Amino acid sequence: MGKMPLFSFLNKKTLNKYEKTEEYQFYMKNKEYLLPLNFHYHLVFSENNAFKIIQANILIKAMMNKEIYDETLKRSQDELLTIIDGRNEYLKNKIWKALDENQAIYFEKDATRIYLPIYSRAMNLIYNDDPIKLLEYPYTEIVKDARSSCIDLFDLYNYDLYASAFTHLIKIKEDKTSCAFYHPDFETIFIINDQGRLDIAIPLFDKYLKERDHHLLMKRVANVVDDFYSNERKKFVRSLRDNGLISSKMCSILLRKESIRSIRRTKVALKGKSIDEIL
């Protein structure tokens, strides 16, 4: 459906308080885990940007898993000196036991458990199946500095990552170039593109809505997502209202803004500019 600047207005009129959400509290409590990665990912996080908080928490959880790996490696080095055969198997069992005991989260990609989405699948295979290599150069540098082999995890793992235990997002629907997710804490629909970046955030339950009805909520969210992918903006806005996710007043405001936007697009297009240059 393309960009929707009109929903930036909706964002200002919702009652969601990010600082009260589990996502935000988790971020504030654990954001020091991001310090080794800050210069690599260049992410700026804010309590007013729900999607960036979600991305930050993915990185934090990945670094928590790395801490389990690293601490197990460190604790095992002296023990490994006494083992001649089967050193890798011994270390692998120790690591898997530590991951299980700490209830480390993961998702599967091509039959590989991805505990460290900041790394490629091949690197995760080493961490999972050949951890003895991590005690030898050049892998020791990777253990020492997480940034040395970091990949663009949001692009590489994309929908698998966003739909995993690394987030609280609920996958609703996927098309050729994007996927719609719903976040219960933020009460927001996120449209994520095939490069793992946010296209549109659509917060629900604006301040003009008298009652928040959560009955059969996911079914209603699925309804409006279907209408979103119909590529008819006004139909989608009305669907939000008809499914009780925005107020009638907000619906009228958004429809009016969309009408004004359409008029401006037509006027500018008549002057010879492309649609992409408008608004």
Helix (H) or strand (E) holding 222: helix 217-228
pLDDT of residue 12: 62
Q: What is the pLDDT of residue 146?
A: 84
Q: How many angstroms separate the CA atoms of 154 and 158, rounded?
A: 5
- In sequence order, what are the residues at sequence separation of 6 or more whose Cβ sits closer than 8 angstroms to the Cβ of residue 142? 119, 123, 134, 148, 149
Please give the Cα distance from 197 to 209 (Å, whole number): 30
Q: What is the pLDDT of residue 2?
A: 43
Co-location of 29 and 142 in the same domain: yes
Would you state the pLDDT for residue 266? 43
* Residue corresponding to tokens 């690394």: 166
Number of domains present in the structure of the chain = 2
Same domain for 47 and 126, yes or no, is: yes
Instruction: Decide if 158 is inside a domain.
Output: no
At 270 the pLDDT is: 46
Q: Which tokens is 10 given?
A: 């909706």
Confidence (pLDDT) at 47:
55
CA distances from 178 to 79, 163, 229 (A): 49, 13, 10
Residues 111 and 12 occupy one common structural domain: no
Q: What is the rounded distance in angstroms from the CA atom of residue 55 to the CA atom of residue 161?
A: 10
Per-residue pLDDT at 278 = 35
The DSSP string of 233-248 is HHHHHHHHHHTTSS-H
Q: What is the pLDDT of residue 142?
A: 87
272 is written with which tokens? 């010879």
Q: Which domain holds residue 262?
A: 6-16+169-277
pLDDT tens digits, one per residue of 169-189: 999 999 999 999 999 999 999
| Low-confidence residues of the chain: pLDDT under 50 | 1-3, 266-270, 274-279
CA atoms within a 13 Å half-sphere pointing along the CA-CB vector of 24: 14
Establish if 52 belongs to a structural domain: yes
Instruction: Verify that 179 and 253 share a domain, yes or no.
Output: yes
Q: Are residues 81 and 134 in the same domain?
A: yes
Q: Which of 123, 151, 179 is the last residue of a domain?
A: 151
CA angle 54, 157, 112 (to 5 degrees): 120
Query: Does the predicted model carry a pTM greater than 0.85?
Result: yes
Give the Cα separation of 197 and 161 in Å (integer).
12
Q: Are residues 218 and 127 in the same domain?
A: no
Sheet of 170-174: strand order equals 170-174, 178-183, 188-193, 198-203
Angle at 138 between CA 96 and CA 32, to 5 degrees: 60
Q: Which of 129, 112, 130 is nearest to 121 (CA)?
A: 112
Closest among 215, 275, 271, 268 to 245, alpha carbons compared: 215
How far apart are alpha carbons 112 and 89 in whole angstroms? 17
Rounded to an integer, what is the distance from CA 158 to the centroid of its chain?
8
Shared-domain flag, residues 67 and 28: yes
